[in-house]
Amino acid sequence: MTLPGTSFSPGKDARTLSAMWKPTDTVPSSASPTLEPARPLHAVPPVEPAARHAVAASDQAVIAKGLVVSGEITGTESLFIDGKVEGSIHLPGNRVTVGRNGLVAASIDVREIVVLGKIRGNVSASDRVDIRAEGALTGDVVAARISIEDGAYFKGYIDICKPDAKPAVPGGPPPAMPDKPRPFQL
């Protein structure tokens, strides 16, 4: 039996087998002779950006898409919200991420918050507030840093305070604006 693309030369040396591949030949891989032992293939895991792994899964609590939580949330771990939360969230040293499906109607006091879903309420962050393009935040923000991507929705008052300064109480009156603008000084 001769496979397409192979030739067998009978004669003195009957063990010679010559296999040649031609682009027009369509031979199933199981029918082709093996010339060297198969080497195990090592799967290389895909490399993801380090930002996605900023908080390990074991260090982050999750409120999944189908869950609804009403009341006060306090704790010592970071939180990912993809469900619905109403009330207050007090995680001062931690990060809260509101996922794309997350709906939050609460006052929030955290170190850092990332908004991909929707928040209605005042936010106080000792470090930063990050509103992504898909996110929406309606309420007052007190933070050391804020980032609002193009396409994001924000409606409210922003108070940027220095990290060492004590943040104002969210929901309180905004600082009084001067009657006259102060002249710019170098």
d(CA 69, CA 86): 6
- Tens of pLDDT, residue by residue over 33-59, are 545 555 555 444 444 444 443 444 557
- Residue 71 has a pLDDT of 95
- Domain ranges, ordered by start, for the chain: 56-160
- Tens of pLDDT, residue by residue over 77-120, are 999 999 999 999 999 999 999 999 999 999 999 999 999 999 99
What is the value of pTM for the model shown?
0.60
Q: Tell me what percent of the chain is helix, strand and coil, each rounded to the nearest 5.
A: 5, 40, 55
Other beta carbons within 10 angstroms of residue 168's beta carbon come to 15
